[in-house]
């Protein structure tokens, strides 16, 4: 499946919806969206991952870049990660750097 990353911004929230397979070829697409999101200086970055089927080490590198680019004051939510992606996040310890949630709950995520 082809990779797709779509950015939406509103208020102090940036949402990037990821779909397909995040690997070395598609990682620059994700990184570009992260850079656009960071330029908006959001309080929260929400990564919608329910349609992300696979994440290679290149995807993890972009997540590390994301954490650094957004800074310590920006909460990063990972929403709906599939088992394979969640397993990768857990094994690498990246799950300790983000907020994992099963589904997008505006009451929880969009509170300012």
Query: Model confidence over 3-48: pLDDT tens digits?
Result: 999 999 988 899 999 999 999 999 999 999 999 999 999 999 999 9
Task: Please report which confidence band the pLDDT of residue 112 belongs to, taking 50, 70 and 90 as the band edges.
Answer: low
Q: What pLDDT digit, counting tens, does each position of 57-100 carry?
A: 999 999 999 988 888 889 999 999 999 999 999 999 999 999 99
* 28: containing domain: 4-109
Q: What is the CATH number of the domain that holds 94?
A: 3.30.750.24
Q: Please tell me which of 48-52, 53-57, 60-64 the model is most confident about, judged by mean pLDDT.
A: 48-52
Of 80, 29, 30, 33, which is closest to residue 53 (Cα–Cα)? 80
Count structural domains, the chain: 1
Beta strand residue intervals within 1-112, DSSP E: 4-10, 13-22, 44-55, 75-79, 99-101
Which pLDDT does position 36 carry in this prediction? 95
């Amino acid at each position: 499946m082809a990779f797709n990353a779509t950015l939406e911004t509103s208020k102090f929230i940036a949402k990037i919806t990821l779909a397909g397979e995040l690997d070395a070829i598609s990682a620059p697409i994700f990184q570009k969206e992260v850079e656009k999101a960071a330029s908006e200086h959001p309080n929260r970055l929400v990564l919608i991952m329910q349609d992300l089927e696979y994440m290679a080490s290149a995807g993890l590198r972009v997540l590390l870049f994301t954490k650094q680019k957004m800074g310590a004051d920006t909460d990063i939510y990972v929403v709906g990660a599939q088992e394979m992606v969640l397993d990768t996040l857990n094994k690498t310890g990246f799950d300790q750097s983000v907020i994992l949630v099963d589904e997008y709950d505006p009451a929880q995520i969009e509170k300012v």
